[in-house]
Structure 1
Amino acid sequence: MAKACCLLSLAAFCLFSRYCYAQSNSSSYVNYPSSALVFRRCPDHGAFTDHQEGSLPEILSSLFQELANHSSQSRFYETTVGDENIAVYGLFQCRHDLSGDDCRRCVNQLPQLSNSFCGARVPARVHLSGCYIRYQADGIETSRVELQHKICGDTKEVSGGGFEELRDGALAAAESCVVTENGHCEMEYHGRMRVVAQCEGQLGRCDCAECIGSAAQIAQDECGSSLSGKIYLQSCFLSYGYYQNRDPTTGLFPEYRKAKGAPTKLVAIIVGGAALLFIVFGLFYSLRACRKTSDEW
């Protein structure tokens, strides 16, 4: 009887542990929403002749495999794969805040998506919220500041005015920031503006600043008085967002706090801790009951 009682208590504890582990993994995935499709670019006509394209599916498959193999080791990787007839240059880039595992999971989705969207055609690009892949015929020169995609947010009158001056100051600060931070910048400007900028890993600091400067100019010209914007160029990314209401207790903007999942983590920690104390108390009580039952026998 005592043995059965103890085994039952141990089983309950193990089930709870497995549940907590599953919940922690699920929460981690939610806190890093890296798989949402942002945009894709596929060619109407391929870059190679029909004769050359015969080996293209195998070359792309080898390219995708090599990129995937490096996605857990680095947030950026570029390579060239080909045969005696054609060669394809390709790369992936992960968002700077992704861990190695999150980057790998994101990049591993890209080959299937690229095949579904673009087939065996080059050049092509598939951009998720956490990573992207792009590839083209090797040796083809492209502009690093070519606009790929843009998202301009809502337009709303800002109380007190001065929005454009604040935005322009924040974008200029991001251009300087990527130089000092080696290609990536995430900053708050005057407590009202949040800016994120990132360049591809092969760009030097000056080239990165030039790319971000071009993205800032596009944001000013094409997003105008929008309170937020995201500019995707060939080799860099820039986003900005203005928030009038800032949480004084956490120092975070409401939208950013929601994206990061800070309250979710705090609630999960509190609830998990309380549940763990309850389980430990229950296990201790069960063991005492088991011992008492054993003594009675």
Structure 2
Amino acid sequence: MKLIIHQVFIFWFFLPFSAISGDHGDYKNLIFKGCANQRYPDPTGVFSQNLKNLFASLVSQSAQSSFASTTSGTDNATAVIGVFQCRGDLHAPQCSDCVSKIPKLVSKLCGGGGDDGNVVVAARVQLAGCYIRYEISGFPQTSGTEMLFRLCGKKQSGDPGFSGKRDTAFDMAENGVKTGGVSGTGGGGGGGGFYAGQYESVYVLGQCEGSLGNSDCGECVKDGFEKAKSECGESNSGQVYLHKCFVSYSYYSQGQGVPNIEPLSGGEKRQHTERTIALAVGGVFVLGFVIVCLLVLRSAMKKKKTTKYDAY
């Protein structure tokens, strides 16, 4: 019987780690690509080499941090500026794995990889868990709140109180990114405000690029949620990617579980998994408690029985 109790508590200890560790399986899914129409004539291959060096540097840095910005090349005419960032709930190995997939995708998705003597002057590839963007030095800058991509759920919540719950969750995230608030387990470290949390039936996530300060981050996320409301309306889920931040939300109704976002963001899946884990761990704890009670009861009965025999 002692062996059974030991196994119960070992299972209880390892369950959260083993379940959560495999919960980011979708972080390498492609969300969108942005490719400049301009090509840079590169007969000498200098720009192409700078771009390769830039990618190598970003991939290398992704093993230690979740955000980095760097420049490759010393000549302003051929220098390349690049940024990578990972979602705030990814651990360092996942971040590095995610970022390392992007360099090959840039050429595949945007073309102009240098083999024909031309290189795309600016590009961004966004995966579910990370992105890389680069641009040639002097490339025109865009607003940090320019909307690049949005995805809205096909279903509506059907809850009369949905708008109020969603807006409260949005306010929580707006305040949370200013202090780098993270709900549940996180990893990766690095820059950029990140928040993942829940208000009643609404899961919400927001993150800013590491170059933004707390105040600017809050304003960017606020703008993202405003766009989510105007673009997605009463949809039960939505994702909005701006130039310098992104936001995501998901509503679930009682008894239905978390609805499927197409694709469901890893942060939201993590929240649902943690809720499931809490229930499982609670069940295991109750089972362990019952076994302990049975042992105590059995010991007491045995002692009582022994005492009775001794009296005779």
Output the aligned Cα RMSD. 2.9
Confirm or deny that 1:205 pairs with 2:214.
Answer: yes
Corresponding residue of 1:129: 128
1:91 corresponds, among 65, 83, 96, to 83
Q: For the structure 1 residues 71 and 205, does the alpha-carbon distance in structure 2 shift closer, same or farther, using more than 3 Å as the test?
A: same
Query: Quick check: 50-59 or 84-93, which moved more?
Result: 50-59
Contact 1:228/1:240 (8 A) holds in 2: yes
Residues 27-79 of structure 1 show CA distances to partners (whole Å, capped at 9, x for unaligned) of 94564321111111112223x4x268842211110100010110110000100
Counterparts of 2:106 and 2:19, CA distance in 1: 26
CA distance in 1, matches of 2:148, 2:240: 8
Using a 3 Å threshold, how does the CA distance of structure 1 residues 195 and 53 change in structure 2: closer, same or farther? farther
1:187 corresponding residue in structure 2: 197
Contact 1:211 1:236 survives alignment (8 Å): yes
Q: Distance in 2 between matches of 1:260 and 1:55?
A: 48
| Matched position secondary structure for 1:102 | helix
Q: Secondary structure at the match of 1:156?
A: coil
Question: How many residues in Structure 1 have an aligned counterpart in Structure 2?
Answer: 237
- Which structure 2 residues correspond to residues 140-159 of structure 1 after superposition, within 5 A? 140-159=140-159
3-state secondary structure, aligned to 2:250: strand
Normalised TM-score (structure 1): 0.71
Q: TM-score, normalised by structure 2?
A: 0.68
1:246 deviation in Å?
5.9
**Does the CA contact (< 8 Å) of 2:20 and 2:270 recur in 1?**
no
Q: As a proportion of its length, which structure holds more helix?
A: 1
How far apart, in 2, do the equivalents of 1:260 and 1:72 lie?
27
Aligned counterpart, 2:137: 138
Question: Does the residue aligned with 1:92 lie in a helix, a strand or coil?
Answer: strand
Question: What residue in structure 1 maps to residue 239 of structure 2?
Answer: 230
Ranges in structure 2 where 5+ consecutive residues have no aligned partner: 1-16, 114-118, 182-192, 261-267, 285-312
Q: Would you say the 8 A contact 1:31–1:259 is kept in 2?
A: no
Give the direction of change, closer, same or farther, for the CA distance of 1:26–1:68 in structure 2 (3 Å limit): farther
Listed as ranges, the gaps of 5+ residues in structure 1 are: 1-23, 271-297
Q: 1:206 to 1:116 in 2, by over 3 A?
A: same
Q: Percent identity?
A: 37
**TM-aligned CA deviation for residue 241 of structure 1:** 0.9
Q: Is the 8 A contact 2:152 2:232 kept in 1?
A: yes
Distance 1:233 1:31, change over 3 A: closer
Residues 251, 258 of structure 2: 8 Å contact kept:
no
- 1:23-172 matches, cutoff 5 A: 28-29=21-22, 31-46=24-39, 48=40, 50=41, 54-84=45-75, 85-118=77-110, 119=113, 120-139=119-138, 140-159=140-159, 161-172=160-171
Contact 1:246 1:254 (C-alpha < 8 Å) held by counterparts: no
